[in-house]
Structure 1
Amino acid sequence: MPQRIDGSGETVRFTFEGREVAARAGETLAAALIAAGETTTRDSVVSGAPRGPFCMMGVCYECLVEIDGVPNRQACMIVAEPGMTVNRQTADEVVA
């Protein structure tokens, strides 16, 4: 399982699928989720297969999540903020 190289720094907390996740200040949602052992952030719109962070730089769109009720947000491009509510994005929630 991936681990953080440096565990120091301020911690912010958000929820993912109703579970509290700790992130370091300045860390993206995708990085925090991977460090917490979460590898699936959405379902494929074509097959329904699980998808998750891949490129970590906003190119592939595999890490789409719903943040505070807003779908189609890239977890690798959004810095974790205290109190965010993040959920997996299902295939039927994808907005073109």
Structure 2
Amino acid sequence: MLDWDKMQEEYVTDHHYHVSYHEDGYDIEGTVWKKKNGNGWDVLFSDIHNELNEENDTQLDLVIFRYEKDQLDIEEINEMFAQWVKKVLLRNAKDKSVYMYKET
């Protein structure tokens, strides 16, 4: 659901990572993108189930927080994502079951 043209303008598109939260049966993932201008990374999350933000940054994907370090610490960014999931996403979700792991 990314606006790929916008992504290519703002981010180094061949340099991104995936973050995930898999506790208590949840299966939630986001992506981390290296910014082209300036230091740091943006963590994006696509939420098709809830309206977390009326002003979406890239259609359904929105920047949920920024990581202002030049070098990415994978453990730190995963912990930050987990904290966001617990404090923002799950706390505000209308239906938490949509984030549960489902066999396909």
- Larger Rg belongs to: 2
Q: Does TM-score exceed 0.5, indicating one fold?
A: no
Greater RCO (Cα-Cα under 8 Å, separation 6 or more)? 1
TM-score of the two chains, using structure 1 as the length reference: 0.38
TM-score of the two chains, using structure 2 as the length reference: 0.36
